Amino acid sequence: MLTDKRKGKRVKTARVNVRKTSVKLDELYERFIEIKKAEGRAQSTLGQYEENYGYFIEYLRKYDIPKEINAITKDTIREYIVYMRDTLVKFEEHRFKNDDAKTTGLAPSTINTRLKTLRVIFKCLEEEEHIKLNPMHGVKNVTELEEDICVLDSEELKNLLAVPNKRSYADFRDFVLMNFLLDCMTRISEAINLKISDFDLSSQLVTIPASIAKNRKFRILPLTRSTARLIGDLIRDNEADFDSEYVFLTNYGERISRDHFRKRLNTFAEQAKITKNVHPHLFRHTSATMFLENGGDIRHLQKLLGHADLRMVVRYTHLSGTALAKQHAQYSGMNQVLGNLNKKRKIKR
């Protein structure tokens, strides 16, 4: 009988030679985004994840690499780095960019920003046990050369602020936003997300809520009287025509985007005959540098900038050559060595 032959034998229920199916990257990315949303990540951070993930997927598509986790290895990531550094042409398919802008290779800082997103994605998926092997393990960042950060001098700032036509709503809004960025040293992502309720104009204070701060910690910043007055004027202008809780709006009543503001800044810079690359974050660099040059305390600057680590502030602010020369002349050890020999001599009455 058939039943007799089965006695004492192991029953086989599973197949051995079954082809393993790989999980689609897009499915894993959706799981990652849901996790980060649940953790309360800012919309701007989620947007950066989306953008940098999109660049990676574009690379996979271009080289016919399957969008499956089993197809992504450490070598895949390293080949992606080489592609970004040596092959990728910026603005290659952009119709409105001239040939001069279409250069080959991304800056090391840009490459590392894109790698940072991949590192966050795969680490999260590994910790949540959605993947077994993290392809980012052992992949190092591209070396970044430490170069001087460009800042505007006082004359360039005056020329730039003189360009906007204060009788035009859009120009006046940009003028107020430039003043605010210089005064409070906030990030542009923080500034454009501020609401009317975040300002206490009578006390000349603004609160950067934790929900829009990069480090997810709120901070309260002082405003100069002139900036508080400008913010009040802009709010009253907005209330006359728009129904919005936000402060910095387009001329059709929507929140202004950082790209929109950046483009307008470029136009203002051209009119002011400034050859430097003027972008929103330049106001933060410039103001932080001027703060230290004028004798401001570095720990107070740390609080204003919203950095938890003082090393970030030291790295962030770059004193100008003029300020460095003044400090050197005042505090050089040679002053004690030379003593009276280093003093100016009186020649005439």
223 and 312 co-located in one domain: yes
188 and 305 co-located in one domain: yes
Over residues 271-296, the mean pLDDT reads: 90
Place of tokens 């932080």: 288
pLDDT on residue 20: 45
The answer, yes or no, to whether residue 217 has pLDDT greater than 60, is: yes
Distance of CA 114 to the CA centre of its chain: 12
**Residue 165: is it exposed, middle or buried by C-beta count within 10 angstroms (0-12/13-18/19+)?**
exposed
Q: How many CA atoms lie within 13 A of 203 on its CB side?
A: 9
94 and 200 co-located in one domain: no
Report the distance separating Cα 4 and Cα 2, nearest Å: 5
**Which amino acid makes up residue 304?**
L
The answer, yes or no, to whether residue 97 has pLDDT greater than 90, is: no
Rg over alpha carbons for the chain, rounded to the nearest Å, is 28
Domain boundary among 108, 127, 146: 127
229 and 118 co-located in one domain: no
Over residues 126-135, the mean pLDDT reads: 94
Of the two residues 304 and 270, the one the predictor is more confident about is 270
341 in a structural domain? no
Joined tokens for residue 259: 């790209």
pLDDT on residue 211: 87
**Which amino acid makes up residue 2?**
L
64 and 178 co-located in one domain: no
Of the two residues 158 and 40, the one the predictor is more confident about is 158
189 and 319 co-located in one domain: yes
228 and 316 co-located in one domain: yes
Report the distance separating Cα 288 and Cα 304, nearest Å: 9
Domain boundary among 127, 162, 189: 127
Place of tokens 């006695």: 7
pLDDT on residue 96: 60
Lowest mean pLDDT among 15-24, 44-53, 200-209: 15-24
* Three-state DSSP class for residue 220: strand
* Nearest residue to 193 (alpha-carbon basis) of 171, 178, 208, 215: 208
Q: What is the DSSP string of 107-150?
A: -HHHHHHHHHHHHHHHHHHHHTTS-SS-TTTTPPPPP----PPP
220 in a structural domain? yes
1 in a structural domain? no
Give me the number of domains the chain comprises. Answer: 2
Distances (CA, A) of 247 to 44, 169, 174, 183: 18, 13, 11, 16
320 and 225 co-located in one domain: yes
180 and 262 co-located in one domain: yes
267 in a structural domain? yes
135 in a structural domain? no
pLDDT in tens, 322-349: 666 666 677 767 666 766 555 565 566 5
The whole-model pTM stands at: 0.67
pLDDT in tens, 100-115: 667 888 989 899 999 9
pLDDT on residue 17: 46
Report the distance separating Cα 262 and Cα 285, nearest Å: 16
DSSP classification of residue 18: P
* Nearest residue to 78 (alpha-carbon basis) of 29, 137, 25: 137
204 in a structural domain? yes
Query: Residue 148 in contact with residue 318, Cβ under 8 Å?
Result: yes
123 and 164 co-located in one domain: no
> What is the domain extent for residue 54?
25-127
315 and 174 co-located in one domain: yes
Quick count: other Cβ atoms within 10 Å of Cβ 178? 23
**Residue 253 maps to which CATH number?**
1.10.443.10
